[in-house]
């Protein structure tokens, strides 16, 4: 029974970790503008809150039945050292390490590429416009800064 619980826990941890890594990679490689970041954050919030939204559709009798249930007694598994919850501290440290790893592996590289592309395309000059035709040919025209 313990081996089965450990296997399930390992699979869940592996899937959560891979979702975190691939999600960070997706956001760092495919999200450049602030509006896209906000849109992705809203989509994430919808995914996280969908269970509560689905519970709103549950019949009233079922909700009353769930409210009448007593919580199951469980032993306290939180260890504290000098008043600090070790589980919360460990989670905080893991989140900080994950953010630093994502920044060092993906976000820093993408930021450098965006800056290089900006320097290559503009090169300090911003008095032009460009467009692409259906065949992906680039057309460039100078603009008048007085207009």
User: Are the CB atoms for 37 and 24 separated by under 8 Å?
Assistant: no
Q: For the whole model, what pTM was predicted?
A: 0.37
Q: What is the DSSP letter of 133?
A: -
Spell out a b/e string for 47-81, using b for 16 or more CB atoms within 10 Å of the CB, else e: eeeeeeeeeeeeeeeeeeeeeeeeeeeeeeeeeee
Six token digits for residue 111? 């930021």
pLDDT digits (tens, 9 = 90+) for 32-78: 677 777 787 788 788 878 888 888 888 888 888 888 888 878 776 66
pLDDT digits (tens, 9 = 90+) for 106-126: 777 777 887 887 777 767 667
């Amino acid at each position: 029974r313990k081996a089965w619980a450990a296997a399930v826990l390992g699979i869940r941890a592996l899937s959560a970790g891979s979702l975190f890594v691939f999600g960070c990679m997706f956001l760092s490689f495919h999200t450049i503008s602030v509006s896209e970041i906000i849109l992705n954050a809203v989509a994430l919030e919808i995914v996280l809150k969908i269970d509560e939204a689905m519970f709103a559709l549950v019949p009233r009798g079922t909700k009353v039945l769930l409210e009448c249930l007593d919580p199951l007694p469980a032993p306290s598994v939180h260890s504290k050292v000098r008043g600090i919850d070790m589980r919360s501290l460990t989670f905080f440290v893991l989140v900080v390490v994950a953010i630093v790893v994502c920044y060092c592996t993906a976000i820093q590289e993408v930021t450098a590429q965006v800056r290089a592309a900006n320097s290559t395309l503009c090169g300090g000059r911003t008095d032009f416009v460009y467009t692409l035709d259906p065949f992906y040919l680039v057309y460039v025209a100078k603009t008048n800064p007085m207009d």
